Amino acid sequence: MDGHLPGRSSRAALTLAALGVVFGDIGTSPLYAVKETFSPAHGIALDAANILGGLSTIFWALMSVVSLKYVLLIMRADNRGEGGIMALIALAQSAVRDRPEWRIPLMLIGIFGASLFYGDAVLTPAISVLSAVEGLHVGTSIFDHYVVPIAVAVLVALFAFQSRGTATVGRLFGPITLLWFLAIGAAGLHGIVRAPQVLAALNPLHALSFVTSHGFASFVVLGAVVLAVTGAEALYADMGHFGKAAVRRGWFGIAAPSLVLNYFGQGALLIERPEAVANPFYLLLPDWALYPMVALATAATVIASQAVISGAFSMTRQAAQLGFLPRINIVHTSAREIGQIYIPSINWGLCAIVVAAVVGFGSSSRLAGAYGVAVTATMMVDTLLTFFVIRYRWNYPLAICILATGFFLVIDLSFFSATLLKIADGGWFPLAIGACVFALMTTWRRGREILFTRLRTSSVPLEPFLESLFRDPPPRVPGTSVFLTATPEATPHALLHNLNHNKVLHERVVFLTVEIRDEPWVSAKERVTCQKLGNGCWRVHVNYGFLERPDVTRALDLCAGAGLPFNMMETSFFLSREKIVPVAGVAMPLWRDRIFAAMARNSANVTDFFNIPNNRVIELGTRVEI
């Protein structure tokens, strides 16, 4: 970077790239949002007044939730340029560092929101691809029995492709998504020209009348209106890849105008032909454009699904780095881009659940009820966490903080309450996924705390131990021994076992601790700290951000400047492998102990996770009861 602002061409390229990654989810909402909002099942007459009211509600939901809340407010709450719920959790927790009573509640709220993201990661591919393929219904009844199999085939192919990485196809995402937005905007404009009176829906009084004039039915409809804002969280989560400016340009310059035009065009069609409510998105099109639009919609929904799947990979990696999940095998699919990763277990687990959702629910309308619950709950969590950031990090007056976040919290609670009515019709599905992930994350976090407490209480303090050890030192052998330890103030069990069994000590002994901080990136000057302990012993602390890939081998090269050069052919790494033994009534319920023990057994190899040469590693086991 030369310090100059990027030129127009680079800004345009960045905005185009952002379109393909950031706006896929919200950009495909017109496929089903209007159809579900005006569904006859709600019992609201499909007359002009109600159509204007429903459209006005969708429009002002977009403006308040997406434009005001996410694009203008929450995107300011970046963690060194990074967004997303994990970055927001870290930001909120650091904001209340002087108020420890808030740290655990905020952590639990954040984990709850992050857990529900996995429900979204299942339902977005399912409802998006299925709603796109359902366009075949409009053209002919021949495909009626093939919609679900075609959708399943598209989705399985998408998940199978993940292992190859998205670098090549990623270049096509932006142009295809731009074409999608131009196409839906043009279709909407065509509809508006035929019934320009639909523009009256811009008046918020129509929205107010709509949500207050139909009693309980109006409340039910809010659960469908929220489908128009699904994907808003992605604008915040992915801003680290492109920057706030590119996301804002993409939203206000392309995505928002196209979406509004299409929603209003569908509304205009319904004013003219109420029977088109069966599928207003596709019936808005001229006959010749139907099948090309089905193909384009399928491509757009695949791109939207791709972004969510990649988001699930990133979320999992960040959760593992921050200590909410065990180490997990990660495949880096690009030598240049650290964000391009593939996690086989998450990929195929998601694939199985997505296919089950498509086959089990069978239609986008049945999936729509399940979809809103996870999205609205996550939005509510974002609002709560944002309050603590603007109050305690930005130090805004309490009244302003309550007014700013309270306004959005009322909207979030309204949407969330409305979607809860759909629990029996499928809303239980993402909640069940979220509950399972929440249980796993909290069990792992709590289990690690108990494990470290056990290790500390059973360990000998390091510095007094070294002092007593060198009063009558054991034989020293050539080379360097590195003992990895999560508790730098305690003597590693691996060192005690080594002395007990081998009776020797290397010429140089390094106690290495790797810490993942609650910030996305760590500067080079903060990467490594080295401390001399005397008698050839050193304490080395390596720091990483939660978006960085730990690389112990490279980090140790930085120690040469502190007088601690490493020759890997003369270095041995000693690791303690704890065998977790669940014991009833010790700390957690026995069922949680067993889950924690199983997660620990199946966690990825520490040598691969930290990029330690496998042929230089010696593992020594220790038994820990929890």
Residues 563-569, mean pLDDT to the nearest whole number: 91
- The beta strands (E) that lie in 465-568 are given as 476-484, 505-516, 528-534, 537-544
Per DSSP, the residues of 313-356 read HHHHHHHHHTTSS-----EE--SS-TT-EE-HHHHHHHHHHHHH
pLDDT of 478 above 70: yes
Tokens of 333: 């699919």
- How far apart, in Å, are the Cα atoms of 531 and each of 323, 477, 491, 554? 26, 22, 16, 18
pLDDT, residue 170, reads 58
d(CA 208, CA 53): 8
Q: What is the pTM of this model?
A: 0.82
- Average pLDDT of every residue of the chain: 87
* Residue range 170-193, pLDDT digits in tens: 567 889 999 999 999 999 999 999
User: Has residue 165 got a pLDDT over 70?
Assistant: no
Q: What is the mean pLDDT of residues 311-330?
A: 86
Tokens of 12: 């345009």
pLDDT for res 559: 93
Domains and CATH numbers, the chain: 9-426 (1.20.1740.10), 452-625 (no CATH)
* 506-540 pLDDT, tens digit each: 999 999 999 988 788 888 889 999 999 999 999 99
Range 586-598 average pLDDT = 85
Using the structure block, give the residue that is written with the tokens 């012993």: 537
pLDDT at 30 over 70: yes
Section 235-244 average pLDDT? 80
User: Has residue 1 got a pLDDT over 50?
Assistant: no
Residue 203 pLDDT: 96
How many whole angstroms from its chain centre is CA 294? Answer: 28
* Structure confidence at residue 98 (pLDDT): 85
Least confident among 257-271, 299-313, 325-339: 325-339
- Residue 585 has a pLDDT of 64
Per-residue model confidence (pLDDT) at position 48: 92
- Kindly tell me if the per-residue pLDDT of 261 is higher than 90: yes
Burial group, residue 263, by CB count within 10 angstroms (0-12, 13-18, 19+): buried
Distant-in-sequence, close-in-space partners of 272: CB < 8 Å, separation ≥ 6: 194, 195
Q: Using one digit for the tens of pLDDT, what is the confidence trace for 59-102?
A: 999 999 999 999 999 988 887 777 888 888 888 888 888 888 88
Nearest one of 340, 300, 292 to 25, comparing CA atoms: 300
Strands 505-516 and 476-484: parallel
Alpha helices, H only, 390-427: 398-420
Amino acid 585 reads G
Helices (H), 389-532: 398-420, 428-458, 462-469, 493-502
Residue among 332, 383, 339, 291 at smallest CA distance from 74: 383
Helical (H) or strand (E) element with 573? strand 571-581
pLDDT of residue 367: 86
Q: What is the pLDDT of residue 413?
A: 93
